[in-house]
Amino acid sequence: MTDLPLNRTIALSLFTVVLREGRPLEEQADLLTRPLDPRDRGFVRMLVATTLRRLGQIDMVLNHFLDKPMPAKLASVRDIMRLGAAQILFLDTPGHAVVDTSVELVKRGKLAPYAGLANAVLRKISRDGAAVSDRIDAARFNTPKWLWLDWSARYGEETAHRIGLAHLAEAPLDITLRDPATSADWAGPLAAEPLPCGSLRRLAGGAVYDLPGFTDGHWWVQDLAAALPVRLMGDLTGKAVADLCAAPGGKTLQLAAAGATVTAVDRSARRLRRVSENLARTGLTATLVDADATEWRPEALLDAVLLDAPCSATGTIRRHPDVARHKRPDDVAALAETQAALLAAAAEMVKPGGMLVYCTCSLQKAEGEDQIAAALAAGLPWERDPIRADELPGLEMALTAEGEVRTLPCHLEERGGMDGFFIARLRRI
């Protein structure tokens, strides 16, 4: 009997629980890979993430080599073949090793009689799969159809294509410094390069905990796009600011580091513990409130509110390829209702003359531009405070005609891209 490495059985469990039960990849990878050493943990995460990223293409290659469609009852065999194909086609694992371990995985499951099928198909993929795979438009066919249609209609087909291409690669590690003035001091030790608007980018990745300055709280991990909303809030020294929907707290840390008196509100006590840990590590302070932000109100009106509303997260598919497999159009519609309720609540918390910044990490217009247009059309005492090009040096392409920010995963694509975000800044009349 072939030896079956533990990392392959764990990869199958992880893939199954993420794809079939809809659980988040990062959370489950953290839990399920604990028995493995760091190298194998990295391998399992990479294998499952790659399979999710390339699922459309992998299924087209499998279908090419299958004589007839696989019935739904063979789902677990199909999943083993998908992971096998990902290793052969995208991770450069030697074909014979992949065939052996995949066949062994099938033999040890309830569908052992189908080991021959897995053997035959994966051998063919090992021999001729690359030629078939290379002919597929990867950007398009790894994008779920509803997203492809939505993005093509909204951004144009060429941009939808560039977004799809950006999703094929792992995202780099972006860093926000507690003290932005120390950027030049940290670039060298972190082997990172400066990005527009003050973030650093480390292309080599690596274990965050081992990098200089992390344990001492000099910086935190935050995508360049996610760092923009607070940077667009101007001088916050001494200002009373609420961070609504705050956990895990990247923006709370930025607000506190900028000198604001911060109240961070989130309805998840479990996720607020992460905010608390992050504050402790960085030596920053904020008041944490476990509450539903549609119901919570501050004791006195605030200078500013940041609302980073819960959303479909379709702007983060580079980092979270599971999002593309989990989200449906219905989710966007339901989340848009929540966003409208949160925006109406946030609007009641700010002083006349005060600021409201609304943002989502979604590429869907319904969760961004449409929310602000609807809120302003409803006659609330608010107006846009248009963001200016000089506030976004190096990222001017993300500025819209309305003075809002719309970043795309294909912006700065030559330097590794960025998350898709929508940001609007409003002023209370």
Ligand X SMILES: C[S@@+](CC[C@H](N)C(=O)[O-])C[C@H]1O[C@@H](n2cnc3c(N)ncnc32)[C@H](O)[C@@H]1O
CB 350 within 8 A of CB 417: no
Q: What is d(CA 132, CA 140) in angstroms, rounded to the nearest whole number?
A: 15
Helix (H, G, I), strand (E, B) or coil at 408: coil
In the complex, the smallest distance separating the C-beta of residue 253 from ligand X, rounded to whole angstroms, is 8
**Contact window for ligand X (CB under 6 A) among 23-31, 243-251, 327-335, 386-394:** 243-251
Kindly list the catalytic residues. Answer: 361
Select 24 or 95, whichever has its Cβ closest to ligand X: 24
136-165 residues near ligand X, rule: CB under 6 A: none
Q: Look up residue 386 and give its DSSP letter.
A: P
Q: What is d(CA 370, CA 222) in angstroms, rounded to the nearest whole number?
A: 26
In the complex, the smallest distance separating the C-beta of residue 396 from ligand X, rounded to whole angstroms, is 24
In the complex, the smallest distance separating the C-beta of residue 236 from ligand X, rounded to whole angstroms, is 15
Binder of ligand X out of 89, 122, 225, 245 (CB under 6 A): 245
In the complex, the smallest distance separating the C-beta of residue 368 from ligand X, rounded to whole angstroms, is 13
Q: Look up residue 223 and give its DSSP letter.
A: -
By CB under 6 A, how many residues form the interface with ligand X? 18
320-359 residues near ligand X, rule: CB under 6 A: 342
Structure tokens at 133: 């795979």
CB 308 within 8 A of CB 367: no
Structure tokens at 96: 């014979």
Select 132 or 230, whichever has its Cβ closest to ligand X: 230
**Angle at the Cα of 426 from the Cα atoms of 421 and 428, rounded to 5 degrees:** 155
**265 binding ligand X? (CB under 6 A):** yes
- Which one, of 44, 131, 128, 122, lies nearest residue 77 by Cα? 122
Binding mask 269-288 for ligand X (x = CB under 6 A): --x-----------------
Furthest CA-CA distance within the chain: 74
Select 174 or 308, whichever has its Cβ closest to ligand X: 308
Select 19 or 306, whichever has its Cβ closest to ligand X: 306
Select 79 or 308, whichever has its Cβ closest to ligand X: 308
- Asked if omega into 352 is within 30° of 0 (cis), the reply is no
**248 binding ligand X? (CB under 6 A):** yes
Select 165 or 289, whichever has its Cβ closest to ligand X: 289
In the complex, the smallest distance separating the C-beta of residue 128 from ligand X, rounded to whole angstroms, is 43
298-317 residues near ligand X, rule: CB under 6 A: 308, 310
Q: What is d(CA 11, CA 29) in angstroms, rounded to the nearest whole number?
A: 9
Select 87 or 316, whichever has its Cβ closest to ligand X: 316
**Contact window for ligand X (CB under 6 A) among 107-115, 117-125, 198-206, 248-256:** 248-256
Q: What is d(CA 305, CA 190) in angstroms, rounded to the nearest whole number?
A: 33
Q: Look up residue 399 and give its DSSP letter.
A: B
- Which one, of 395, 417, 412, lies nearest residue 228 by Cα? 395
- Which one, of 220, 242, 363, lies nearest residue 308 by Cα? 242
Q: Which amino acid, residue 350?
A: V
Binder of ligand X out of 84, 250, 315, 416 (CB under 6 A): 250
**246 binding ligand X? (CB under 6 A):** yes
**319 binding ligand X? (CB under 6 A):** no
In the complex, the smallest distance separating the C-beta of residue 134 from ligand X, rounded to whole angstroms, is 37
Q: What is d(CA 136, CA 14) in angstroms, rounded to the nearest whole number?
A: 27
**Contact window for ligand X (CB under 6 A) among 7-15, 54-62, 290-298, 400-408:** 290-298
In the complex, the smallest distance separating the C-beta of residue 245 from ligand X, rounded to whole angstroms, is 3
Q: What is d(CA 257, CA 177) in angstroms, rounded to the nearest whole number?
A: 9
- Which position's Cβ is nearest ligand X? 245
Q: What is d(CA 422, CA 407) in angstroms, rounded to the nearest whole number?
A: 7
Question: Binding residues for ligand X, per CB under 6 A?
Answer: 245-251, 265-268, 271, 292-294, 308, 310, 342
